[in-house]
Amino acid sequence: MRAASALLLAARPRPHSLLCPRPASHQQQQHPGASFAKPSIRALRSLAASLAPAAAHPSTAALTRPPPPLLRRPATGAPAAAAAAAAAAALPPRQRRRAAVAAAAAAMDKPAKPSQGELAAACLVRAPAPIVDIGVNLADECFDKDRGEVLARASEAGVAAIIVTGCSVRSSEAARALCERHAGPGPELFFTAGVHPHSAKECGADTLARLRELAAHEKCVAIGECGLDFNRNFSPQDVQLEWFAKQVDLAIELRKPLFMHCRDAGEAFGRVLRDAAARRAGGAGAGAAAGAAAGSGVAELGVPGVLHCFTGNGEELKDCLALGLSIGITGWVCDDRPERGGAELAALLKTIPRGRLMIETDSPYLVPRTIKPSKARPHRNEPSLLPHVLAAVAAARGESEEAVARQTTLVAGSFFQLPNTVWTPLY
Ligand SMILES: [Zn+2]
């Protein structure tokens, strides 16, 4: 652990920018043994079904006579196939052949794998009060096929509003388009406009102008996702620093909240914010100003900031709070694998002041691992699973889910200046 003044964030590996688990290409896959029936496996299934009445009346001869070889192989472990095979053995040869094929198909007929949406629907629980998901990568292509259903489920789960994360100019524009197209019912959509540190190297002469234009939209509630990621360094560090600072200045200029990301870059992260605060205060050179502002946090920024998807340790949390930041908690807190530190994060949650705590899914990443068994857990996270994060946060803080739901919604409403349609149902 480094000095207390250092802001060290997200020291351990985070799956934040793993590729989204694409939904269910496996659904199109066929069983390896199905090639002989290809492409008519469905026809075989219906053939098996058409033979089903015969299975209810197997003759004694059928039960004692050994089934033909084709029937023996697939029938094991498949009661329906075994019944069909027994019945088929009593049939005339032509029908027996058909029945044999049907029995083989029945044996291979595993239930179709549920879609990501079906899995999410199966573990949907409703929050006891309206909640706000402050971080959803809803423009991600893995939602292209069923975004409407995703939003409908979110509504069913009590999600009153979603902040769609923009992490490049292009994805911010996609987020804006989603907000414009979405005409309810369901959660209200808002978006952030910004460039993630991974994409900082893509910034160019027109980036700030385009972000400024995006930020002017009535549904744009923050600048970001911006920040630093010195773990993967997908963009050179000096480029990350440059574009993080530019976006902080833009947020100050436009009086928009900051939605931020930080990984393995704590000291530099704090320095950028303090320098910006000093610049705004009209201080001296950046270095001296940083020193002068070091103890005062970022209140001088004049805009609120949230560090989303906090996964750090106690020291890092203290530094964030000292900087004046709010904290976004994801399904990381639901992760019970010792090496991931979910339990450590849970133990810290009580120390986050109520007025600084918000919740998020960071969909499609970080599916809450409190959904068990693992087979029932979708690979793709979505806002309807936010109540699972809520439950883990409430348990960790020793508060009721309703209290945490109400409080985090009020904080999000105030932080992002959401319309009162989102939070008045709480009264
Ligand atoms: Zn992030």
- Please indicate, yes or no, if residue 76 is contained in any of the structural domains: yes
Among 85, 108, 131, where does a domain finish?
A: 108
| Distance in Å, CA 261 to ligand 1 centroid | 5
| Distance in Å, CA 183 to ligand 1 centroid | 27
- Please indicate, yes or no, if residue 409 is contained in any of the structural domains: yes
| Distance in Å, CA 225 to ligand 1 centroid | 7
- Same domain as 401, residue 282: yes
What whole-number distance in Å separates Cα of residue 196 and Cα of residue 165?
10
How far is residue 288 from each of residues 54, 293, 420, measured CA to CA in Å?
89, 9, 42
| Distance in Å, CA 77 to ligand 1 centroid | 47
Q: To 10 degrees, the CA torsion angle through 241, 243, 244, 250?
A: 140
| Distance in Å, CA 17 to ligand 1 centroid | 8
What residues sit around ligand 1, an ion, with C-beta below 5 angstroms? 16, 261
| Distance in Å, CA 227 to ligand 1 centroid | 8
- Please indicate, yes or no, if residue 393 is contained in any of the structural domains: yes
- Please indicate, yes or no, if residue 11 is contained in any of the structural domains: no
- Same domain as 120, residue 61: no
The residue with greater pLDDT, 33 or 413, is: 413
Among 108, 138, 167, where does a domain finish?
A: 108
- Mean pLDDT for all residues in the chain: 80
The token pair at 211 is: 């972000």
| Distance in Å, CA 328 to ligand 1 centroid | 10
| Distance in Å, CA 360 to ligand 1 centroid | 11
- Same domain as 223, residue 102: no
- Please indicate, yes or no, if residue 339 is contained in any of the structural domains: yes
| Distance in Å, CA 113 to ligand 1 centroid | 31
SS (H, E, C) the chain: CCCCCCCCCCCCCCCCCCCCCCCCHHHHCCCHHHHHHCCCHHHHHHHHHHHHHHHCCCCHHHHHCCCCHHHHHHHCCCHHHHHHHHHHHCCCHHHHHHHHHHHHHHHHCCCCCCCHHHHHHHCCCCCCCCEEEEEECCCCHHHCCCHHHHHHHHHHCCEEEEEECCCCHHHHHHHHHHHHHCCCCCCEEEEEECCCHHHHHHCCCCHHHHHHHHHCCCCEEEEEEEEEECCCCCCCHHHHHHHHHHHHHHHHHHCCCEEEEEECCHHHHHHHHHHHHHHHCCCCCHHHHHHHHHHHCCHHHCCCEEECCCCCCHHHHHHHHHCCCEEEECHHHHCCCHHHCHHHHHHHHHHCCHHHEEECCCECCCCCCCCCCHHHCCCCCCHHHHHHHHHHHHHHHCCCHHHHHHHHHHHHHHHCCCCHHHHHHHC
- Please indicate, yes or no, if residue 177 is contained in any of the structural domains: yes
The token pair at 70 is: 């084709």
| Distance in Å, CA 285 to ligand 1 centroid | 30
- Same domain as 101, residue 122: no
| Distance in Å, CA 400 to ligand 1 centroid | 28
How far is residue 9 from each of residues 109, 144, 181, 273, measured CA to CA in Å?
49, 32, 36, 14
- Same domain as 131, residue 95: no
> Can you give the CATH number for the domain in which 229 is found?
3.20.20.140
| Distance in Å, CA 82 to ligand 1 centroid | 53
Give the per-residue pLDDT at 85: 56
| Distance in Å, CA 260 to ligand 1 centroid | 7
| Distance in Å, CA 229 to ligand 1 centroid | 9
| Number of domains comprising the chain | 2
| Distance in Å, CA 169 to ligand 1 centroid | 15
For the segment 375-412, what is each residue's pLDDT rounded down to a tens digit?
A: 999 999 999 999 999 999 999 999 999 999 999 999 99
- Same domain as 264, residue 307: yes
What does pTM read for this prediction?
0.74
Give the per-residue pLDDT at 318: 93
- Please indicate, yes or no, if residue 7 is contained in any of the structural domains: no
- Same domain as 206, residue 83: no
- Same domain as 230, residue 91: no
- Same domain as 343, residue 286: yes
Among 108, 125, 157, where does a domain finish?
A: 108
How does 113-140 read in b/e, with b if 16+ C-beta sit within 10 Å? ebbbbebbbebbbebbbbbbbbbbbbbb
- Same domain as 205, residue 80: no
pLDDT confidence band for 110 (50 / 70 / 90):
low
Give the per-residue pLDDT at 257: 98
Point out the least confidently predicted range of 18-22, 148-152, 197-201: 18-22
Q: Which domain holds residue 385?
A: 116-426
| Distance in Å, CA 307 to ligand 1 centroid | 8
Give the per-residue pLDDT at 297: 62
| Distance in Å, CA 308 to ligand 1 centroid | 6
Sheet bearing 131-136, strands edge to edge: 131-136, 159-164, 188-193, 220-229, 258-263, 305-307, 326-329, 357-359
- Same domain as 148, residue 47: no
The residue with greater pLDDT, 68 or 205, is: 205
- Same domain as 210, residue 323: yes
The candidate with the shortest Cα–Cα distance to 329, out of 346, 316, 304, is 346
| Distance in Å, CA 101 to ligand 1 centroid | 53
| Distance in Å, CA 140 to ligand 1 centroid | 14
The winner for highest mean pLDDT among 7-21, 28-42, 47-61, 391-405 is 391-405
| Distance in Å, CA 226 to ligand 1 centroid | 8
HSE value, Cβ hemisphere, 13 Å, CA-based, for 134 = 39
| Distance in Å, CA 138 to ligand 1 centroid | 14
- Please indicate, yes or no, if residue 9 is contained in any of the structural domains: no
